[in-house]
Structures are given as C-alpha cells and as structure tokens.
Amino acid sequence: MSEAVASAEEPVENRTAVPVIAGLAAIAGVAFIASLLVGPSGIGLPRGSHAAELIFTQIRLPRAILGALIGGTLGLAGAVLQGYLRNPLAEPGLLGISGGAALGAVIAIHSGASAAFALALPLGGLAGAALAAIAIMILAGTRTGPLTLILAGVAISSLVGALTTLALNLSPNPFASVEMLFWLLGSLSDRSLAHVWLAAPLIIAGSALLLTTGRALDALTLGDEAAQNLGVNPTGLRNRIVTGTALSVGAATAVSGTIGFVGLVVPHLLRPLVGHEPRRLLPASVFGGAALVLTADVGLRLFAPLSDVRLGVVTALVGAPFFLWLVIKTRRELGP
C-alpha cells in the first residue's frame, strides 16, 4: 500500500465508533417512543380519558422500559462474553444463568406460588439465576481461564435445562404446562411497573459492571498472557463477568422469560462497524440490543396485536435469517 493511500484513510481516534454508537442510540430512542405510541388500544398519546392514561402508564411505559433495558443488557452481555471467550458464537445463555432463571420461574409456576402472588415468578427467576451463578463460580474454581468457565456453564445449562423439562413433564395440569411453556418463550406483555422496579436496579448494576470490562477485553485480543502483561487480572475479570451477567441477564430473564438470539446476533452484526474492537462493541451492543428488542416488540403489536406470538419467537425469527445471510456472506468471502 502506498503512503498516499495510507494517509488518506488516516483514522482519528474514535472516528468510526462514535457515529455508529450515536446512530444506534437514535434508532433505539425512536423504537422506545414508538413502543409508547403503539398498542392494540389504538395509536398515539393518551388524551383526556382516565383509561387511556392508565394504558399509557401501566401498560406501555413498563413495557417500553423493560424492552430497552432487557434488549440493551442482552446485547451487552453477548458482546462481553464473545470478547471474553474470543468466540463470535458465544451468547449469554452459554453460562447457564438464563437457564437458571428460567428454571426458577418455572418452579414458581409449578409450585403455584405465582398464582398466589404475581411477583413470585420473577423472584423465583432471580433466585434461580443467583444459584446458577454461584454454582458456576464454585465449579470453575479460582485462577482458571475462559475454557473452564465455558465447561462449567455448559454443565449448569444442561442441568437446569433438564430440570426445567422435568418440571414441565411433572406439571400438575395442562394449564400450568401451557403457562410455563409460554413464559419460557419470552414476552414483555402484561409486565407492570412493579416488574420494572424489581428488575431495573439489578439490570443497571449488572450492566455497569459489564461495561467496566472493555479494556480487559481489548487486551485479550492478544491472548491471555499478553493481556496479563498489559495489566489484566484474569480472576478478577472472570468474577466481574459472571457477577455482571448474573445480575443483568438473570434479572432480564426473570421478568421476560428467555429472549434468544439478541445476545448472539447483535454483537456479531455490529462488530465490523466498530473496527472489531471489543471495548467499542460494548456501548454499540447496548443500543443495538435495545433497538432490536423494542422494534421486535413494536412490530409484534402492529402486525399481530391480539395473537399469542411471543417476543422470544419473533427475535429468533428475525435473528435466524440474519445468521443465514452471514453464513452465505462468509462462504462467498472464503469460497473459491
């Protein structure tokens, strides 16, 4: 490459990432507002009637806030795990924390606790996520690397997955099993402000912890030993990642059920736009994840307002074609 070409494309620090992050933030903002304005009861801001006001503050507002928080944190956790494991196919579910939350919630339905009081379901989910995180920490032990963490995560995922199907299998009646299944598919409908108060602090705290890992993830680009030489404490990093994921993804899954593909697809798609840098990918994935979940949720309300199609199903339906496209693109690049 000639000197002239090299200097013509001289990057200023932050040149590529800032517009990308700002653009994604704008898209997420628009999707958030759309989420407030769209619903089966009509489109627009509430005016006059008490009922319209109730719909806005009790139904649409919590739904929009949860969509933004949950989407953002799923995207972020995916970006952190992909950076930590240096594997573009990693996703938050890999650690077994969302599986633990799902098991906790299913047990809450199974035991009838959720019928007794509504918040038993998310509380059960939180307990499940916490137990899964503790089990992973114990299994992975001290002073070990990403590989041990993955193995521990896979072990916990399969265990909680098996226990969840057992709970379904032993469900007391068909209604309970349908309720469990539907919950597992992931949704934001009928969530109240109480759900927001329960989940938001945990999601924000967990996300804040995950956002501190950016530099360490950058350093890991060079491998474990070079990263350590650049000041990364491997055990501290792993503990921050597990704790942050447990808080954020655990709380997200506890209120929404399993919303798949967001943590996998969002960082994967955005990575080239931020020059593949793990640190810059983190804020981009927050906004990208929020935009995806909010858009999917708004789309669901616009196109299938009264159907029972679940949000988790929609994100998977949107996510899978993206992946197909990626496969075809990669094949074309690598092919003869």
Partner 1 sequence: MTDTLQAKDVGVSLSGRRVLRGVSLTVRTGEIVAVIGANGAGKSTFLKVMAGLLRPVEGTVKLGERPLSALDARALGREIAYLPQDRTVHWPLSVRRLVGLGRLPHRARVAGPSAADLEAIEKAMAAMDVLAFANRPVDELSGGERARVLLARALAQQARFLVADEPSTGLDPAHGLTLFTQFVRMAASDCAVIVALHDLSLAARYCHRVLLLKDGAALAEGPPQSVLTPERLAEAYGIRATVAQIDGWPVVLPIEPLA
Footprint of partner 1 on this chain (CB under 8 A)? Answer: 1, 3, 6, 9-11, 13-14, 86, 215, 218-223, 225-226, 228-233, 271, 275-278
Name the strand (E) or helix (H) holding 143: none
CB 32 within 8 A of CB 64: yes
Rounded CA-CA distance 186/255 in Å is 9
Among residues 124, 89, 70, the alpha carbon closest in space to that of 294 is found at 70
In terms of CB distance, is 148 or 189 closer to partner 1?
148
Provide the 8-state DSSP code for 39: -
In terms of CB distance, is 193 or 277 closer to partner 1?
277
> How many Cβ atoms from other residues are within 10 Å of residue 76's Cβ?
34
In terms of CB distance, is 195 or 271 closer to partner 1?
271
In terms of CB distance, is 63 or 271 closer to partner 1?
271
Provide the 8-state DSSP code for 94: G
Least distance between partner 1 and beta carbon 70 (Å): 26
Q: Exposure string (b/e) for 113-152, b if CB count within 10 Å is 16 or more?
A: ebeeeebbbbbbbbbbbbbbbebbbebbeeeeebeebbeb
Least distance between partner 1 and beta carbon 330 (Å): 13
Least distance between partner 1 and beta carbon 69 (Å): 23
Name the strand (E) or helix (H) holding 277: none
Least distance between partner 1 and beta carbon 1 (Å): 6
Which are the contacts of 137, defined by CB distance < 8 A and separation ≥ 6? Answer: 239, 242
Least distance between partner 1 and beta carbon 325 (Å): 20
In terms of CB distance, is 272 or 305 closer to partner 1?
272
Least distance between partner 1 and beta carbon 283 (Å): 13
Name the strand (E) or helix (H) holding 131: helix 120-140
Least distance between partner 1 and beta carbon 264 (Å): 17
In terms of CB distance, is 18 or 159 closer to partner 1?
18
Give how far the C-alpha of residue 268 lies from the chain's centroid of Cα atoms, to the nearest Å: 13
> How many Cβ atoms from other residues are within 10 Å of residue 2's Cβ?
7
160, amino acid identity: V
In terms of CB distance, is 18 or 193 closer to partner 1?
18
3-state secondary structure of 189: coil
Least distance between partner 1 and beta carbon 90 (Å): 12
In terms of CB distance, is 188 or 219 closer to partner 1?
219
What are 321's two structure tokens? 């074609």
> How many Cβ atoms from other residues are within 10 Å of residue 172's Cβ?
11
